[in-house]
Structure 1
Amino acid sequence: MTSRPEPESAAARPRPGSRSSARSNKLSREVIVNAALTFLDREGWDGLTINALATQLGTKGPSLYNHVHSLEDLRRTVRMHVIDDILQMLSTVGQGRTRDDAVTAMASAYRSYAHHHPGRYSAFTRMPLGGDDPEFTAASHAAAAPVIEVLASYGLDGDDAFYASLEFWAALHGFVLLEMTGVMDMVDTDAVFSDMVLRLAAGMARRNGAHG
């Protein structure tokens, strides 16, 4: 008859060759960050803690500190990954497109990302664009670059293009939040979203004409 393994105390270390030890040996910063991204979409931003993530990875919290300095270090790294994902997504869908076609494609992709990755999207909006982290601020501004490039096809540039991109983002973000909180469950959100984006696009064209 096979005996049951002895329960491990909180202070005990995994024995060499044990499953827990094998899992710990496979940990890396990349593995931890990827696990955190998956965790976010299931449990949400507020649920992300070192111990909760360690449980998902089948190990103990202290093991993660060999690869991340702190919870804030992990969260910051996650934010940077999400910003890069959004930047790559907008660049891909906007490639080869201009004006209304590009705006519509980018808006749809942005909305889809928020709904498929709600936890990651929450991470993206948790820090101000002009906060105390210069690298995060620079990355956030870089994420607007694909939109600003599209706005150039309307004849907008400089501050006009930058502030127009912020207005575009504000409209999309507000709509997505209303959807995700269920406020608009009784309306055809697809139709409302399409109309809103087309009005935003028309406003871009009029904005340039007014300045001209």
Structure 2
Amino acid sequence: MPPSTDPARTRTSGRATKLSRDLIVNAALSFLDREGWDALTINALAGQLGTKGPSLYNHVASLDDLRRTVRMRVIDDIISMINTAAEGRVREDAVLVMAGAYRSYAHHHPGRYAAFTRLPFGDDDPGYAAATRLAAAPVIAVLASYGLDGEQAYFAALEFWSAMHGFVLLEMTGVMDDVDADAVFADMVQRLAAGLRKQ
């Protein structure tokens, strides 16, 4: 029997695998960490999957559709990761593990992290805007253990994200190469926790 020539199938470990939206999105996530955000195109991803670009269009509407879906998945993954890290913890203990988990994610998934921190696609995407706001929810939940709520908790969460992202960005651009980055990071997080206690 001749091998399948169905363009909607690709080969993995010698076996034909039917393409699906989930498979394509998962492949795109791995592609990001290897090649980076700017390299993610339909044709480049199709090549990695051993098929042709048009086959992917059976499952994703466009490159923007794929990139938006990937970014939403990354946000969900980060929220889940932080929730898991902080589960059952409060105050300084929770802040320390959340910060460490955030930094670890950026180190292990630099391409995905870059996707998470890209500018939004535009004001016409309320779903993505809502998802980015939800990313602050795990931090706000921990801040409640300090007695912070409402606007005060939201602003404190923004301070946390700003500090984490700023530090990771400095690491990624080589600014931290000549210092003990672990020690600087630990000191920064302790200062954040101390500031929360004062609030």
Task: Give me the TM-score of the superposition, normalised by structure 1.
Answer: 0.86
The equivalent of 2:170 in structure 1 is 178
C-alpha separation in 1, matches of 2:90 and 2:123: 32
Aligned-pair CA distance for 1:178: 0.5
The equivalent of 1:127 in structure 2 is 119
C-alpha separation in 2, matches of 1:19 and 1:115: 38
C-alpha separation in 1, matches of 2:36 and 2:61: 21
The equivalent of 1:38 in structure 2 is 30
The equivalent of 1:165 in structure 2 is 157
Q: Is the 8 A contact 2:106 2:113 kept in 1?
A: yes
Deviations 1:180-208 (A, max 9, x none): 1111101000000000001001111112x
Is the partner of 1:162 in helix, strand or coil?
helix
C-alpha separation in 1, matches of 2:135 and 2:8: 40
Q: What pairs with 1:91-170 in structure 2 (closer than 5 Å)?
A: 91-128=83-120, 131-170=123-162
Aligned-pair CA distance for 1:132: 3.0
Higher strand share: 2
Matched, 1:17 2:9: no
Q: How many residues align?
A: 193
Q: Is the 8 A contact 2:8 2:56 kept in 1?
A: no
The equivalent of 1:69 in structure 2 is 61
Larger Rg: 1
Question: Which 5+ residue runs of structure 1 have no aligned equivalent?
Answer: 1-14, 208-212
**Aligned AA (2:101):** A
C-alpha separation in 2, matches of 1:53 and 1:44: 12
Question: Which 5+ residue runs of structure 2 have no aligned equivalent?
Answer: 11-15
**Aligned AA (2:39):** G
**Aligned AA (1:159):** E
CA-atom RMSD in angstroms = 1.9
Flag the 1:149–1:56 CA change in 2: closer, same or farther, 3 A. same
**Aligned AA (2:185):** F
Deviations 1:61-117 (A, max 9, x none): 111000000000000000000000001001101110000000000000000000100
C-alpha separation in 2, matches of 1:206 and 1:19: 64
Identity among equivalent positions (%) equals 71
Q: Which runs of 4+ in 1 moved over 6 A?
A: none
C-alpha separation in 1, matches of 2:185 and 2:71: 26
Aligned-pair CA distance for 1:25: 6.2
